[in-house]
Structure 1
Amino acid sequence: MNPLVITVNVKSTVYCDFQLRWYPWDDPHCFLNLKVTNVPSFGLLVDGTSTVTMRPELLEEYEVVECRLQETPHPTNNLTLLVHLTRRYQYHLWTTFLPTSLLAAIGYGTLLLPLEAFAERGSMSLTTLLMFIALYTETNSSLPSTAYLKHIDVWFVFSLIFLTLVINVHLMTFLADSESAGQSVRPTPSRHLTHVSAPPFAKRVRDRMAVPKRILRMSTVLFALVFIIFTLVYFLAIV
């Protein structure tokens, strides 16, 4: 008895329900139910020897990890094809995480500028925030829409809050400096018109800038620790 081999080329569009909470490090599975209509309901048996002989290794956004037929205990004409994919995340590393990390570093760098350079600190941090919002808007338009936060959305939200808090620190130092300046020139009423020697000008300026400088120093250390800890936790969570 000679074996009979039939080859049929079939092209179909299939929609799979993926869970994208860990996007772009998701590891989706897709189950395809195939029904062979030209054989009886007891005509096919899928066991350990049944294999998928040809499959692509790389897709546009995914790598194909596994593609196999699910075994059936009894002969049937319904087949279940399991496709295990893993997303190719390298694209987002270069186009999303690298630019946003550089913007966060530039925003953090404004905390290292001198206290007197408020105009430069304010303009640089605000420009960085606006550039980040533009990048986030452009990137978000190409991401899959979900009703929940994806892993990449968490990164965007943290970076947005990080840069916003940097601007708030600059505003706090400006307000603290203005308040100290107002107190240093405020006259002290006295009932006796006696001559009181004023402290040297350099000392008054130094005392006035003590609080804003302390705010900047504390913010520099705190923001660095928060960013490093968040980055470690963020990327260790996907391991």
Structure 2
Amino acid sequence: MGLRNFPFDTERCLLKICLVSASSEFLLWRSTTVVYLREVLLMEYEVLRLRVRAGLLEGYSTALVTIDLHHCFGYYVTSAYLPMIMLMLISYTSLYCQSENRDLRVMMAITNLLILYALYQQMSEGLLPTLYTKAIDVWCSFSIMFIFS
């Protein structure tokens, strides 16, 4: 899976079905169809489209089934993006506190940073580990740097 734009991404899964019981001289897939009979809305994805293409692979008849899955991002918007936006707004409003209340401003900023970091850690535990940065990682880093600055 390519999760660079996670959770605003679309995944493409490929299934290669190869008939190895007989070579393509004796057995060919000409008209193939695939029907998906289950729910279109899955736990984290929505099944958008299924396509089938017949072909040859090393002298055997094959069918390539392509399944396009769209990530349902509503959960991540409501559980990650909106709370982080609210925490950034709270942190920004602390700038309007009187300058004599430095302790209040510092405590609000530190508390918001700790909450954001805890939210980011909780979210990261539920995601697949990758070697590259995902869109949600960029957003969390931006939120933390915004409050820190």
Q: What is the TM-score with the length of structure 1 in the denominator?
A: 0.56
2:107 is the alignment partner of 1:123:
yes
Aligned to 1:79: 63
Partners in 2 of 1:77 and 1:71 — Cα distance? 7
Give the alignment partner of residue 90 of structure 2, picking from 103, 106, 117. 106
Corresponding residue for residue 41 of structure 1? 23
1:53 maps to 2:32: no
The amino acid of 1:130's aligned partner reads: L
After superposition, the CA RMSD in angstroms is 2.0
- Deviation readout 1:104-151 (Å, 9 max, x if unpaired): 111111111111111111111111111111111111111111111101
Measured against aligned partners, the alpha-carbon deviations of 1:5-29 in whole angstroms (never above 9, x if no partner) come to xxxxxxxxxxxxx111000011111
Q: Are residues 1:142 and 2:126 paired? A: yes
Partner residue of 1:69?
52
Whether the aligned pair in 2 keeps the contact of 1:33 and 1:78 (CA below 8 Å) is yes
- How far did 1:77 drift? 3.0
Give the 4+ runs in structure 1 shifted more than 4 A: 73-76
Q: 2:2 aligns with which of 2, 15, 19?
A: 19
Rounded to whole Å, the distance in 1 between the matches of 2:7 and 2:85 is: 17
User: Which residue identity does 1:51 align to in structure 2?
Assistant: T
Higher helix share: 1
CA contact (8 A) 1:46 1:69 kept: no
Stretches of structure 1 lacking an aligned partner (at least 5 in a row): 1-17, 166-239
> Does the Cα contact within 8 Å between 1:69 and 1:82 map onto a contact in 2?
yes
CA shift at 1:45, angstroms?
Answer: 2.3
**Identity of aligned pairs, percent?**
31
Paired residues for 1:143-158 under 5 Å: 143-158=127-142
Unaligned runs of 5+ in 2: none
Separation in structure 1 between the aligned mates of residue 110 and residue 71 of structure 2, nearest angstrom? 34
Alignment partners' CA distance in 1, 2:14 and 2:37: 15
Question: What's the TM-score, normalizing by structure 2?
Answer: 0.88
Do 1:107 and 1:125's aligned partners in 2 also have CA atoms closer than 8 Å?
Answer: yes
Shift of 1:155: 0.2
